[in-house]
Amino acid sequence: MQPSRLFTTEQPTRRAFSWQDIVVLAGLAALIYGLATIALGAPEVVEGPTISLRLRAIPYYATLSLLRMATAYILSLCFTLVYGRFAASSAWGERLLVPLLDVLQSVPILSFLPVVMLSLSAFLSENVAAELASVVLIFTSQVWNMTFAWYQSLKTTPTDLREANAIFRFNGWMRFKTLELPFGSISLIWNSMMSWAGGWFFLIAAETFTVGQKDFSLPGLGSYLYTAAEEGDMRALFWGLAALILIIVALDQFIWRPLLAWADRFKLQMVTSDEPPTSWFYDFISATRLSRWLNERVIGRGMERLDRAMLRRFPVKAGPPRGDAAVRRALGYLLGVAILALLAVLMARAGRTLLAVPLVEWREIGVGLLATLLRVAIAMLLALAWTIPVGVAIGSNPRLARWLQPLVQITASVPATALFPVILIFMATLPGGLNLAAVLLMLLGTQWYLLFNIIAGASTIPQDLKYTSALLRIDRWAKWRTLILPALFSYIITGAITANGGAWNASIVAEHLSFGDKTIYLVGIGGLITKATADGNYPLLFAATFSMVLAVVLINRLLWRPLYRQAEEKYRLD
């Protein structure tokens, strides 16, 4: 199993230009012209932090938002590939980096965004600082589920494929190219869709934030939607949402669906699927002479040069010399000592801050943790109840996926915080309606992590195993118990880890309710963090945030991590 070139075709190499080539060249010319027109029209649209609600401003704002999203995604992908590889390939890396990843994905970034903004603006211009802060916020909404998915694929790679790589004595680059990336490609693509949906979800917060009296709003589609909603301009809001939906559908048709069709060849199966994923755009591009030229002259030759360079730079060795092992061990010890020293200094300072918190507030933190834990548990159970059957239906039925995949991406990308005031109007009159609304907002923000991972897992179930279960005439429940749930187990746990962290993060918004001039803080750690931020009670803010991070890490260590190890050992596809 090794990655093929991006486009393949069985047509002969020598042939005249087809109508597909003409359409592609015309499309490229139109794209270049459109981008140039948008760029030349920018000065008429942008006026500092003031956001224009003219319809002609939407293409420019959408382009800026796409650039921020793409930048954050590229950073997320690079972080994912490097961090996940280190975490999965060494014992010390797993002991250190995986718990650190639990901490990072549980930190409520929205609470610390003002601090990040002020820190950056101290030594950068306001515009540059705002752009960096926006990319950082989008990055944190994209990266964690991708990293967990990549780590999961590396840890559950079949043993026979690892042994084959060892027999062929592939170095790290060839192992990455021929085994790790192909095996993890489907999961990585589905989690990339989730990451983009999460980025759109946080787009408004990433482009419209205020620190004190200072407005750091950025021109973009998120700020356009926020301004339209604030001013009650329903026409502008409608066209802004239409532009967002159009972008999501375009990305699905021109990026994600072709990638899924291309990655289907990497599924571990003895027979091909009856209905493999298809993409009209992938088939269209594959039929062009331009794609063949790119495959042979650019991608193919470029990959060959890269392979030779990596083999020269990192030759395969029978075993590391003792001197190198000793140096590596010494560097590891020095790194460990440095990390422990830094942690000791930080813990000493943190301890002084925590001691300033009175006992009464610690009691509020304890009660708040229990209340939020109950809401998170309810939201997780509700999410699991519907995402498992729906995810299996979408992932195992390409025909159904063709219709529901864009719909799922659009629904996951709609900012739930924008819909929350409408939800409150209907739920405030119900018994316990505010608590139900908080659980619903947590559910809206976290269920998609589970759904996308389950779809990825269902789409990787080998077709030969499905045929075997059909030949044995296994009933539906036995099929779920012996095939579907074991095959999905590691994907469910990966999605649950990120969904759990997301639910705790969502509590900051879900437990803080506003009705006009009236503000209600529900009993919970999220409401306590929001109230401490509003009151400027920084010792309580730090104590509550630290307690929430600690709770998420303990849940991951005591619940999800043992299940993860069980998935690695018992439900590996060997």
Residue 488 shares a structural domain with residue 389: yes
Residue 506, in any domain of the structure: yes
Residue 181 shares a structural domain with residue 253: yes
CATH of the domain at 167: 1.10.3720.10
- Give φ, ψ of 102 to 5 degrees: -60, -40
* Cα torsion angle, 273, 190, 184, 557, sign: negative
Residue 138 shares a structural domain with residue 269: yes
Q: What is the predicted pLDDT for the residue at 47?
A: 45
Residue 253 shares a structural domain with residue 333: no
| Residue ranges of the chain with per-residue pLDDT less than 50 | 1-4, 6-14, 43-48, 320-323
pTM score, two decimals? 0.78
Q: What is the predicted pLDDT for the residue at 9?
A: 42
Q: What is the predicted pLDDT for the residue at 424?
A: 66
Q: What is the predicted pLDDT for the residue at 10?
A: 44
Number of structural domains in the chain: 2
Residue 23, in any domain of the structure: no
Nearest to 357 by CA among 104, 527, 545: 545
Residue 220 shares a structural domain with residue 343: no
Residue 428 shares a structural domain with residue 511: yes
Residue 328 shares a structural domain with residue 414: no
Residue 28, in any domain of the structure: no
Q: Which domain holds residue 416?
A: 46-278+356-570
Residue 421 shares a structural domain with residue 332: no
Residue 328 shares a structural domain with residue 361: no
- The helix (run of H) or strand (run of E) holding residue 519 is strand 518-521
Nearest to 368 by CA among 512, 504, 524, 546: 524
Checking 534-538 for CB contacts under 8 A at 24+ apart, the result is 538/353
Nearest to 144 by CA among 134, 155, 152: 152
- State which of 336, 355, 374 marks the end of a domain: 355
Q: What is the predicted pLDDT for the residue at 45?
A: 43
Residue 39, in any domain of the structure: no
Residue 36, in any domain of the structure: no
Residue 312, in any domain of the structure: no
Residue 121 shares a structural domain with residue 230: yes
Residue 242 shares a structural domain with residue 322: no
3-state secondary structure 185-222: HHHHHHHHHHHHHHHHHCHHHHHCCEECCEECCCCCHH
What is the distance between the alpha carbons of residues 112 and 544, in angstroms, rounded to a whole number? Answer: 13
For the segment 40-54, what is each residue's pLDDT rounded down to a tens digit?
555 444 444 678 888
Residue 447, in any domain of the structure: yes
Residue 143, in any domain of the structure: yes
Residue 135 shares a structural domain with residue 257: yes
